[in-house]
Amino acid sequence: MNIDNLKSQMRKGMLEFCVLLLLRHGDAYASEIITKMKEAHLIVMEGTLYPLLTRLKNDGLLAYRWQESPAGPPRKYYSITQLGTQFLEQLQNSWDEINRTVDHLRSKSAIVTPPDINLQ
């Protein structure tokens, strides 16, 4: 167990959330998403993102269209669907809920329940 592994675990599920957030108001293709994530200080690997996009597409949360590139191979532009938007709202609720839980545990520093009286 190291901090990197745990950070990696913490990202599970959270990356879907971030991709949907990013696509909320504009289409993007994979390499572009990686760049934009980097701007938000979130490093995403290709081997992580491509399967993720395929999953979201297969579940109807994203759609895509091919578009020629001014240079290089054609690009797969992903856009969020109506279902994806609905899903995103639920995700925001889940995220806020988890944060409330963590905040609760974090603030509860002084409250310590007494140990059971040992009756032997």
Partner DNA sequence: TTATAGTACCTTGCAATACATAGTACTTGG
Partner DNA sequence: CCAAGTACTATGTATTGCAAGGTACTATAA
Instruction: Quote the least distance from Cβ 45 to a copy of itself, whole Å.
Output: 16
**100 membership: H or E segment, kind and range:** helix 82-107
**Structure letter (DSSP) for residue 26:** S
The listed partner (DNA, a copy of itself, none) that binds 115, CB under 5 to 8 Å by sort, is a copy of itself
Pull the structure tokens for residue 116: 């059971």
The listed partner (a copy of itself, DNA, none) that binds 27, CB under 5 to 8 Å by sort, is a copy of itself
Q: Does 12 bind DNA (CB under 7 A)?
A: yes
Cα–Cα distance, 8 to 118 (Å, whole number): 41
* Of residues 49-108, those binding DNA (CB under 7 A): 50-55, 69, 71-76
The listed partner (DNA, a copy of itself, none) that binds 73, CB under 5 to 8 Å by sort, is DNA
Q: Does 115 bind DNA (CB under 7 A)?
A: no
CB 48 within 8 A of CB 15: yes
Pick the closer one to a copy of itself by CB: 47 or 106.
Answer: 106
The string of DSSP codes covering 60-84 is: TSEEEEEE--SSSS-EEEEEE-HHH
